[in-house]
A and B are shown apart, each in its own frame.
Chain A
């Protein structure tokens, strides 16, 4: 419980967050002031007989700009409705092991006294919990680092004038709304930064800056007489990058396409249900990879640590190195080092240097995603660097790295994948998604669907979803386009854990073809 004195005391302090994270990002070592605050927690934890302690002091910034164009009630005149917000969050979390159990406590009051107090709270939580601990927590070894890491970027998105960003999204939304047959349009850009300092009793002191940028446009069309409403969307790949990705989003060009395609979507006939071949574009397939291969290969799920919420996994530990999940051409990587991946970072929230590792090799399940307190459960000697907490106030745990599907051979094109389909559907963009708690049965919609007949892309369809079992689906994969088609999409809000946390993660792939998948007609 925060006393009045603690609260008022914090209000009298200076605005620390700016000062702490203001140092040149080119510096090789963390800010001395951050290191001093970090050492307070580590020393207090040692004094209280904790056997391990780490502290994360973190500042977040989230800049969102959006413009919605919709008709005014009664007049039909187009109104331009903007949203402009720039929010921040700053605080710290302390994690300890005491009596062999984890304890965690956090606070937004970044003062020396509060860091000492909260460290004591974390130790108290650990000691209280230890009465029910069956085996002491065991951490895989980790090297000590004293370093800084920054998302590779060319242009700080927060330094770009707001007016420039607003002009661009307004132009994109206008471009969509040029047709009277478009009921409403919207465009948005989001920029996020995470300044994070990590120190642990393993000897690490790590300061990192992660930048994420994205944008998109969308449209809605309505046919009141038929009682139908349909949408179309372009989502630029969310990336760890700076403002340099904005010009390559091609917002205006994509806005024109969205305008035409939303009308086509409204006029499209519903799909006829049945077994069909699917050609899935990277804008869509990323989410199928995420749900069916990303989550099923998390070790905490396989061992039952997520049983009460997100669920477990069909990939139990006895299947490691043996289970066929996909066809021979399906090679899948876990990776927190790849360029522009949303989960890409220098060091994870265990202080482990991030890495890349095979998850599926020629369709066979090879490795789980792990963190320090899990590695020994598999007899492994080191963590795979997948530890993450979504806030200073959240407990770090195992979260998904970027999980990507290796492209096919150089001579496989999207056109050749389509040419090999007699009766099928081409799907672009993500839509509805749902999968069971062991990652067997899934159902995915999409944002746009085109019929493929006799090897040719035809008219647009609506009301499409497909259902499959993960292993059936991936073993039916008989074509993946080459590296030239590789694109990386992802989500900023992948949920897991109790209390629920949100992870940002990317999934790259080239277009791929799947045979005889069960397609259903939705409302």
Chain B
């Protein structure tokens, strides 16, 4: 992996190749080791080294951008020349904002050597444990175990330079019956590969598969649901991109006020809803900057149900006379103290959702999404799980989901197959619209 000094040498070399007043460079170097398995056997696996350098140059507000993976002198010179030529023919960008000067970034390093060093030989025992656990119950495991070590760098002609290195690892597994009558899923993520709880992942996926056999078909309709943290982490982060001050002001967002203006400072959610960004939570990989170099910082988007902040990129902040804000990612929803079992115990009739699948936007303005339940849906009656339930399609917005929360569990890092995940509690949510049945197992 590139060290800070090596990265600085490269970005200095690139910045020196242009006489343009504006040049921004970003550099990414990563190593990834992964093992994929299915049908109780290893399938495709790999070790990948990647690097990419992106250059953006601007003169007279005319910007040209390029990126390369070759870092030899000729390639870098050619890349710079290409970016300058693109800039020559590009029309001026009236929304161009000059690069930031040097910034103060947090002293946050979440790089774990053991994760960066792990290769197939070190990762195989985890896969073996999952497969053997499944096989012992005559079940079939598929899954993915991946770790990466990544260096990210930004620099520009105004003296900005920032270097960040981070690691992360992820294990997820799906356990199915051989004839395909049931499926269970579980996952674990951590910057420290030694904290991946293989036994818990295997037990949870196998347990779900065992309990979900022959699901009962229920009628579509509005249900009280208990969403496990993974299900919350699939759906809720989709609200993040909708905090844009620009789209709110322009009448294109759920935060637009009818007749003009925004819903900033309005109370849209229950008192117990607080949604935040915390880029320095050690459960996540690091993130020192967003939006072109703005230092990452904790931001509260919704506080006790009130919309507290909107996202201002540097251009819109300048137009609006506001300070630029970091992006609304690395989300955390404050939770309560109840365990998942306690949340289930409080539901008279409802459904427990393991995770969601194939989420796609239906209406960007209301943030309405459609998607399906997957890998374990259970009927709750009188506070107890009484039967496996057949899958459903839903059409719902995370905005309405936040408005309909009844109770919250303890937050944890969660990530399904949809997006970057978040720190999410399990939630009890009323009136969740399940619109049609799915025969999928």
Q: Which residues in B have their C-beta under 8 angstroms from that of A441? A: 372, 391, 393, 436-440
Q: Which residues in A have their C-beta under 8 angstroms from that of B34? A: 498-499
Determine whether B18 belongs to the interface, using a CB cutoff of 8 Å to chain A: no
Which of A43-51, A86-94, A196-204 lies at the binding interface?
A: A86-94
- Interface hits, A33-86 → B, CB 8 Å: 67, 71-74, 79-86
Return the contact of B49 from the options A74, A106, A132, A522 (Cβ within 8 A). A106
Tell me the minimal C-beta distance from B143 to chain A in angstroms.
5
- On whether the beta carbons of A308 and B362 are closer than 8 Å, the reply is no
User: How far is B249's CA from A71's CA once the two chains are assembled, in angstroms?
Assistant: 12
User: How far is B3's CA from A1's CA once the two chains are assembled, in angstroms?
Assistant: 12
- On whether the beta carbons of A89 and B120 are closer than 8 Å, the reply is no
Listed by A's residue number, 5 A-B pairs whose Cβ atoms lie within 8 Å are A108-B50, A132-B124, A163-B89, A166-B91, A522-B395
Return the contact of A132 from the options B63, B128, B250 (Cβ within 8 A). B128
Q: Which residues in B have their C-beta under 8 angstroms from that of A91? A: 50, 69
- 6 shortest interchain CB distances as A-B pairs: A128-B120, A441-B438, A104-B46, A436-B440, A438-B440, A523-B363
Determine whether A303 belongs to the interface, using a CB cutoff of 8 Å to chain B: yes
Determine whether B70 belongs to the interface, using a CB cutoff of 8 Å to chain A: yes
User: How far is B440's CA from A303's CA once the two chains are assembled, in angstroms?
Assistant: 15
User: How far is B211's CA from A496's CA once the two chains are assembled, in angstroms?
Assistant: 28
Q: Which residues in B have their C-beta under 8 angstroms from that of A71? A: 250
- Given the known interface contacts A16-B70, A305-B39, the answer about A229 and B251 at a Cβ–Cβ threshold of 8 Å is yes
Return the contact of A90 from the options B39, B70, B372 (Cβ within 8 A). B70
Return the contact of B360 from the options A7, A10, A434 (Cβ within 8 A). A434
- Given the known interface contacts A135-B41, A229-B251, the answer about A87 and B316 at a Cβ–Cβ threshold of 8 Å is no
Return the contact of A307 from the options B142, B256, B357 (Cβ within 8 A). B142
Tell me the minimal C-beta distance from A169 to chain B in angstroms.
10
* Contacts from B to A (Cβ < 8 Å): 1-3, 6, 31-32, 34-52, 54, 63-75, 78-79, 82, 85-87, 89-91, 93-95, 116-117, 119-121, 124, 127-128, 131, 140, 142-144, 146, 172-174, 176, 180, 183, 185, 246, 249-252, 256, 258-260, 316, 319-320, 357-366, 368, 370-372, 374, 391, 393, 395, 397, 417, 435-441
Which of A148-156, A211-219, A311-319, A452-460 lies at the binding interface?
A: A311-319
Return the contact of B438 from the options A2, A393, A440 (Cβ within 8 A). A440
Q: Provide the A214-238 mask, 1 if CB < 8 A to any CB of B, else 0.
A: 0000001011111111000000000
Tell me the minimal C-beta distance from B415 to chain A in angstroms.
13
- On whether the beta carbons of B73 and A11 are closer than 8 Å, the reply is yes
- On whether the beta carbons of A436 and B119 are closer than 8 Å, the reply is no
Return the contact of A87 from the options B67, B74, B93, B95 (Cβ within 8 A). B67
Interface of A is mostly: mixed
- Chain B residue nearest to A500 in the complex (CB): B417
Q: Which residues in B have their C-beta under 8 angstroms from that of A222? A: 250-252
- Chain A residue nearest to B256 in the complex (CB): A227
- Interface hits, A1-41 → B, CB 8 Å: 1-2, 4, 7, 10-18
Q: Which residues in A have their C-beta under 8 angstroms from that of B357? A: 311, 436-437
The range of chain A's interface size is 35 or more
- On whether the beta carbons of B69 and A88 are closer than 8 Å, the reply is yes
Q: Which residues in A have their C-beta under 8 angstroms from that of B74? A: 14-15
- On whether the beta carbons of A443 and B65 are closer than 8 Å, the reply is no
Q: Which residues in B have their C-beta under 8 angstroms from that of A339? A: none
- On whether the beta carbons of A80 and B91 are closer than 8 Å, the reply is yes
Determine whether A159 belongs to the interface, using a CB cutoff of 8 Å to chain B: no
Determine whether A397 belongs to the interface, using a CB cutoff of 8 Å to chain B: yes
- On whether the beta carbons of A132 and B43 are closer than 8 Å, the reply is no
- On whether the beta carbons of B42 and A132 are closer than 8 Å, the reply is yes
- Given the known interface contacts A129-B124, A467-B435, the answer about A308 and B52 at a Cβ–Cβ threshold of 8 Å is no
- On whether the beta carbons of B358 and A88 are closer than 8 Å, the reply is no
- Max chain B Cβ within 10 angstroms of own Cβ: one of A67, A128, A433, A465: A128
- On whether the beta carbons of A129 and B439 are closer than 8 Å, the reply is no
Sample of 14 further A-B pairs with CB below 8 A, known A128-B124, A307-B38? A4-B3, A72-B94, A73-B319, A79-B94, A121-B47, A132-B127, A307-B140, A314-B439, A436-B372, A436-B440, A441-B391, A499-B146, A520-B395, A523-B366
User: How far is B44's CA from A90's CA once the two chains are assembled, in angstroms?
Assistant: 22
Determine whether A445 belongs to the interface, using a CB cutoff of 8 Å to chain B: yes
Determine whether A475 belongs to the interface, using a CB cutoff of 8 Å to chain B: no
- Chain B residue nearest to A468 in the complex (CB): B436
Tell me the minimal C-beta distance from A172 to chain B in angstroms.
14
Q: Which residues in B have their C-beta under 8 angstroms from that of A81? A: 93-95
Determine whether A124 belongs to the interface, using a CB cutoff of 8 Å to chain B: yes
- Given the known interface contacts A7-B6, A73-B320, A81-B93, the answer about A304 and B140 at a Cβ–Cβ threshold of 8 Å is yes
- Given the known interface contacts A74-B319, A437-B440, the answer about A84 and B65 at a Cβ–Cβ threshold of 8 Å is yes
Q: Which residues in A have their C-beta under 8 angstroms from that of B439? A: 314, 436, 438, 440-441, 469
Determine whether A143 belongs to the interface, using a CB cutoff of 8 Å to chain B: no
Q: Which residues in B have their C-beta under 8 angstroms from that of A433? A: 360
- Interface hits, A116-156 → B, CB 8 Å: 118, 121-122, 124-125, 128-135
- Max chain B Cβ within 10 angstroms of own Cβ: one of A135, A220, A395: A395
- On whether the beta carbons of B256 and A309 are closer than 8 Å, the reply is no
Return the contact of A304 from the options B71, B82, B90, B142 (Cβ within 8 A). B142
Q: Provide the A503-523 mask, 1 if CB < 8 A to any CB of B, else 0.
A: 000000000000000101011
Determine whether A278 belongs to the interface, using a CB cutoff of 8 Å to chain B: no
